[in-house]
Amino acid sequence: MCIAVPAEIIKINKNMAEIESLGVRKEIDITLVPDAGLGDFVIVHAGFAIQIIDKKEAASIQGYWKEYLDGK
């Protein structure tokens, strides 16, 4: 269950953020990740960020995560 997608925060406007994932941009709600800032990667589920991604961990892994982190 729980489709969630990694995405980068590229703009913040109060509790909303514009994120980008594989070239697709969208506005989502970041109420649940108050510590998230510009440039952070988050996991997006049903229009909300539910957790901040540990970029260091992600960068050390090939494949799936690398594509999201590089490919935005």
Partner 1 sequence: MTVVKNKESTKINNNKFKDKIIQLSHGDGGIKTGELINDLILKYLGNKILNRLEDSAVLKCSDKKIAFTTDSFVVNPIFFPGGDIGKLSICGTINDLATTGCIPAALSLSFILEESFPVSDFIKILSSIKRILNDTGLHIVTGDTKVVEKGNADKIYINTSGIGVIPDNLEISPLKIKAGDKILINGGIAEHGTAILSIRKEFNFKTGITTDCAPLSSLVKDMTAASKNIHALRDATRGGLASILYELAGTSGTNINIYENKIPVKKEVRGICEFLGLDPLYIANEGKMVVFTDKKDVDAVLKAMRKNRYGKDSCIIGEVTEKGKGNVTLTTSIGTKRVLDLPFSEQLPRIC
Partner 2 sequence: MENNIKRIVESLNDKKPERSINIMEVCGTHTMTISRYGLRQIIPDTINLISGPGCPVCVTPAADIDRILEIIDKYEVSLFTFGDMLKVPGTRSSLYDKRSEGKDINICYSPAEALDFAKNNRDRQVIFLAIGFETTIPLTSVIIKRAYKEKTNNFYIYNTHKLIPEALEVLLGDKHIKIDAFLCPGHVSAVIGSRPYNFIVQNYGIPCVISGFEPHDILESISMIIDQFKKGKAEVEIQYRIVVKEEGNPEALKSIYEVFERSDSLWRGLGNISGSGLELKEDFSKFDAKIHFPVKEIKSVEPAGCECGDVLKGIKKPFECRLFSKVCRPDNPVGPCMVSSEGSCAAYYKYERLKA
Site residues (CB under 8 A) for partner 1? 1-3, 5, 18, 21-27, 44-46, 71
Whichever of 24 and 32 has its CB closer to partner 1, that residue is 24
**Minimal distance in Å, beta carbon 23 to partner 2?**
18
Site string for partner 2, 16-55 (x = CB under 8 A): -------------x-xxxx--------x-xxxx-xx-xx-
Which string of DSSP letters, residue by residue, matches the chain?
----EEEEEEEEETTEEEEEETTEEEEEE-TT-TT--TT-EEEEETTEEEEE--HHHHHTS-THHHHHHHH-
